[in-house]
Structure 1
Amino acid sequence: MTSQMELPPRPTLFDFHGVSMTRYFTDNWDNIQHFEARPDDILIATYPKAGTTWVSYILDLLYFGDTVSNSRSSVPLHEKIPFLEICVPHRPTGKDLADQLPTSPRLIKTHLPVQFVPKSFWEQRSRIVYVARNAKDSAVSYFHFGRMNHIQPEPGEWSCFLQNFMQEKMVFGSWYQHVTAWWEKKQTYSNIHYMFYEDLIEDSRKEINRLCSFLGLSPTAQQREHVRSKVTFETMKENKITNYSTVPTMNHSVCPFMRKGTVGDWKNHFTVSQNEQFDEDYKNKMKNTALFFRTEI
């Protein structure tokens, strides 16, 4: 376990080609851009805190199972499914981990806005699973994540964080631009499966079935049920493979990585006036898209 002394310093945001970023995701930029994707790669793309780990684990179980004889079954998920753009001192880069993956398909995750995705993914026609979550719950989850994760900028107070979220001053940029640009890309690139966190919460069975048909997988009913039972929030929260408890930059005593996993927790954070201001701003920013999110189910 890394001692507190060895933790990397909290980063500061800067403008990177029009998107707020930190050095932990830009320091390895040229190498990331030259990443060589393969036709059978599956990229899991999300804005932060949209169910990335959840969908990653679903895909890992669908493709590779978790039998005791399987040497992968005890490896933490973040090592099996590398985070492409991450580059933290004294740790292997996400790109290097992705290059070294022995599996086929390779499962790789990213939070990059669509315009930053290495072009080889498009050239190779790799499949992409994009997961989107409503803005209010995304903001709340991102706030708590910033409190416990040392490689995030200091989040400050909730009211200040929420203003920054609305002003699009977040690592990986604007939530609004992220979800809409990926949605637009889906209209021209057929190998994107666009999922909603709220749908997964409401009916995981149906969403796993849709995912299987997109990927051309046909697990038995028994296998599907097995996956479903393994990916419930409570099960994943207790599972060392998925709960990030082994990651030294995360302080689980501040807040667990897997905190609530619900829809509508924003109601416990937004004041009435914050909610009104947010709704007004949201309507304005999202007026030109057909994309619709549910903030409660």
Structure 2
Amino acid sequence: MELPPRPKLFDFHGVSMTNYFTGNWDNVQNFQARPDDILIATYPKAGTTWVSYILDLLYYVQTAPERQRPIFEKVPFLELLIPLYPPGVEVLDKLTTSPRLIKSHLPVQLLPKSFWEQNCRIVYVARNAKDSAVSYFHFDRMNRTQPEPGDWNNFLQRFMDGKMVFGSWYDHVTGWWEKKQTHSKILYLFYEDMVEDTGRELDRLCSYLGLSPSAEEKERVRGVVQFDNMKKNSMANYSTLPIMDFKISPFMRKGKVGDWKNHFTVAQSEQFDEDYKKKMKNTTVQFRTVV
């Protein structure tokens, strides 16, 4: 099977993007959300698959056994348009289960307006900047539908400059945080909190979604979604997608908080921290970065 070529970045409505996420733009923007849709929104590599899998288990593990399919089929990627696969919008329109679980990496200003009009529930997951940069770097190395990452030093500079697919991490996490202040249907989760106490964050999710699983059900979900279990699970780890080269890196690599310390030099860390302070000085969102 011929794999798609590596794409080039370009500016799209002020956000760095590639044709794999803009090529179906009119259909994405005209997407008709339903009131019971649940959107899982994140910057790339922030726990999207983790939360997608949790929600799929909470809603469907007992009522829809036919959903024993890879997570990317059960929680379609709204804006995705890559060769050899149907567009995300098309997959969503054919979903028969309700609520539909929908994945998106779009910054808040590019989200289709029907999500706001229908007052959909949105779960946003944010991960600290340094770990996000490291995870994104290894993801770009192994994923053919991402631009060539180059070496770590150049990649880190691009990350700081916001020249990444889906734009600036800083703009993304703060844009969604600001929207949360005026939109009651956004639950804003932190990756670090989920790692620290998955059960507690699972309770928050259930409370937000109005779900009442038994203590046994919650404990079973918590066990299934532990990182090491998901990494071995072909329904969750993307190992069935040929565009992912697992010889370079697994899709689920470490799932740790603080792994950035194994990649940043002291000089890189100091430069990054200085830049971070400037870019985050006008927001109230607070991240925990392990130092």
Provide the TM-score with structure 1 as the length reference. Answer: 0.97
Q: Which residue in the other structure is 1:295 paired with?
A: 289
Moved over 6 A (4+): none
Q: Deviations over 1:166-210 (max 9, x none)?
A: 010000000000000000000111000000000000000000000
The alpha carbon displacement at 1:241 in A equals 0.3
The alpha carbon displacement at 1:66 in A equals 5.5
| RMSD of aligned residue pairs (Cα, Å) | 1.0
Q: Which residue in the other structure is 2:127 paired with?
A: 133
Q: Which residue in the other structure is 1:213 paired with?
A: 207
Q: Superposed, which structure 2 residues align to 1:1-297 within 5 Å? A: 3=1, 6-65=2-61, 70-72=65-67, 74-296=68-290
Q: Deviations over 1:7-47 (max 9, x none)?
A: 00000000001000000000000000000000000000000
The alpha carbon displacement at 1:296 in A equals 2.0
Q: Which runs of 5+ in 2 are unaligned?
A: none
Specify the SS of the correspondent of 2:253.
coil
Letter in 1 for 2:138: H
Return the alpha-carbon distance in structure 2 between the equivalents of residues 206 and 248 of structure 1.
35
Return the alpha-carbon distance in structure 2 between the equivalents of residues 229 and 187 of structure 1.
33
Q: Which runs of 5+ in 1 are unaligned?
A: none
Residue identity over aligned pairs, in percent, reads 70
Return the alpha-carbon distance in structure 2 between the equivalents of residues 23 and 71 of structure 1.
33
Letter in 1 for 2:15: V
The alpha carbon displacement at 1:89 in A equals 1.7
Matched residue count: 291
Return the alpha-carbon distance in structure 1 between the equivalents of residues 82 and 66 of structure 2.
26
Letter in 2 for 1:34: N
Q: Deviations over 1:75-96 (max 9, x none)?
A: 1000000000000122100110
